[in-house]
Amino acid sequence: MFQLSVCAWQILFDCGVYIFVCVCSTGRIVVNERDQTSVDHIYAIGSVQHGRPSTTGLSVHAGKLLSFFSQCDYTIVPTVVLTPLEYAACGLSEERANLTFGEDSIEVYHSYYWPLEWTLPARNKNSCYVKTVVSLHCRDPEQRVVGLHVMGPNAGDILQGFVTAMKCGLTKHQLDATVGIHPGAAQVSILFFLLLRQKMTNCCFWHLLSFS
């Protein structure tokens, strides 16, 4: 049922009975696609799971679904880093997309943007950044958006609405056709002025962090 090179056994206490479940070498509990442990009637969710994203929102969501015996979708999970200049992401990174689809089967669109609240104090125009990763794979003839990354004020709030769209199969054409709310940050970041770029270097990301 589980294929791991290193396994251990962890003891859980359930209604006065000792129960053994399979854990990996890091101590996290091994689960299947339905969040079941090696014991069918024992489930594990959240950061105790092996090989799953560890975010508070995902843990709460998975718990709610489990209470209704529904399965959580772990494929498109948003996350945010609450640094002074927020970073939010959903879907694949450019590096992961290259490994998944091949370097010639993705396109990357990116742009710097200037939030409205930064115009009066004349803060740096090149501090905020957005990147959209689009699949050109034969399985995605409509250029499906597989990764969305935002760095700027309230990046998590900006990204939240696009998460649902990505789960519904958001395409680059649909993104281009979306009318933005003026003068919101989502309009100037994701919906405007995305430029095509083929390569991305890590130094660019750390250069942006230096402005925070």
Mean pLDDT of the chain: 80
Kindly tell me if the per-residue pLDDT of 20 is higher than 60.
yes
Kindly tell me if the per-residue pLDDT of 3 is higher than 50.
no
Please give the pLDDT value at position 211: 41
Q: What is the pLDDT of residues 30-82, one digit of tens each?
A: 999 889 988 888 888 888 898 888 888 888 988 999 888 888 988 889 999 99
In the chain, % of residues over pLDDT 90: 30
Query: What are the structural domains of the chain?
Result: 7-67 (no CATH), 79-209 (3.30.390.30)
Provide the token pair at 25: 């070498």
Kindly tell me if the per-residue pLDDT of 23 is higher than 60.
yes
By CB atoms closer than 10 A (0-12, 13-18, 19+), residue 58 is buried
Predicted confidence band of residue 175 (pLDDT cuts 50, 70, 90): confident
Strands (E), the chain: 7-14, 17-24, 79-81, 87-91, 106-113, 128-135, 145-151, 195-197
Evaluate whether 4 touches 27 at the Cβ level (below 8 Å). no
Kindly tell me if the per-residue pLDDT of 140 is higher than 70.
no
Predicted confidence band of residue 117 (pLDDT cuts 50, 70, 90): confident
Please give the pLDDT value at position 5: 36
Q: How far apart are CA 114 and CA 189, in angstroms?
A: 8
In the chain, % of residues over pLDDT 70: 78
Q: What is the value of pTM for the model shown?
A: 0.76
Q: How far apart are CA 157 and CA 109, in angstroms?
A: 21
Please give the pLDDT value at position 186: 79
Kindly tell me if the per-residue pLDDT of 123 is higher than 60.
yes
Question: What are the catalytic residues?
Answer: 182
Please give the pLDDT value at position 106: 92
Provide the token pair at 110: 């990116």
